[in-house]
């Protein structure tokens, strides 16, 4: 049964949240099952790692349980939970930022800027980009590029929303998105050339 169908036939997310806040574990468990897949999918796309996504899903719902009383129904529950998930992933990125192999949200990204010099580019055509090829390429993006690409092009958020969620400017969001797309293009073409 889809979330929309559950909403029509059962209690709303807001009602479940209110009951959860009063200590009704069964209501919280229902919220968990309604939104588990959405939270896991977002965490997976943003991290590119099933193991990290699993841990972050657990962290997000644990945090949700502790904060459920602060949900006032002013926005949709899914929007509220979505932001909470993004925040958990970003905190995770910041925690591991101290590890030298990771960088997140610096403009530099530890990357050589993507440049296209006339006449030097591989003229091969772009291969057909299916789900597997794209997901594989997304998983290789630096975290900052990946977050903006996933939030904008996959999840469909506007730059203003992304800027607010990630604590960056709209200009940075636009710039990161463009770099992410160019980097994906390079990764996909490189992958095709290697096959």
Secondary structure letter of residue 153 according to DSSP: I
Measured CA to CA, the distance from residue 125 to residue 110 in angstroms comes to 28
CB of 105 to other proteins, least distance (A): 18
Measured CA to CA, the distance from residue 31 to residue 37 in angstroms comes to 11
Quote the distance between the C-alpha of residue 147 and its chain's center: 5
Question: Given the rule CB under 8 A, which residues bind other proteins?
Answer: 25, 28-29, 32-33, 36-37, 40-41, 44, 50, 54, 57-58, 61-62, 65-66, 116, 118, 121, 126, 129-135, 149, 153-156, 174, 177-178, 181-182, 184-185, 188-189
CB of 122 to other proteins, least distance (A): 11
CB of 12 to other proteins, least distance (A): 21
Nearer to other proteins, 165 or 177 (CB): 177
CB of 100 to other proteins, least distance (A): 29
Nearer to other proteins, 101 or 142 (CB): 142
Q: Which of 124, 130, 172 is nearest to 151 (CA)?
A: 172
Torsion from C-alpha of 133, 135, 138, 139, nearest 10 degrees: -110
């Amino acid at each position: 049964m889809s979330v929309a169908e559950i909403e029509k036939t059962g209690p709303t997310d807001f009602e479940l949240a209110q009951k959860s806040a009063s200590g009704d574990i069964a209501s919280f468990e229902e919220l968990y099952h309604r939104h588990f897949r959405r939270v896991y999918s977002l965490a997976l796309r943003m991290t590119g790692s099933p193991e990290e996504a699993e841990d972050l899903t657990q962290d997000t719902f644990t945090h949700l349980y502790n904060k459920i009383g602060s949900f006032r129904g002013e926005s949709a529950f899914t929007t509220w939970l979505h932001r909470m998930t993004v925040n958990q992933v970003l905190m995770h990125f910041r925690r591991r930022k101290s590890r030298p192999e990771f960088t997140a949200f610096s403009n530099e990204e530890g990357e050589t800027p993507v440049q296209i010099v006339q006449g030097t580019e591989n003229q091969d055509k772009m291969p057909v980009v299916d789900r597997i090829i794209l997901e594989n390429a997304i998983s290789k993006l630096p975290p900052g590029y990946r977050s903006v690409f996933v939030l904008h092009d996959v999840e469909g958020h506007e730059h203003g929303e992304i800027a607010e969620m990630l604590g960056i400017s709209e200009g940075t969001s636009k710039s990161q998105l463009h770099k992410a797309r160019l980097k994906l293009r390079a990764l996909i073409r490189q992958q095709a050339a290697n096959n």
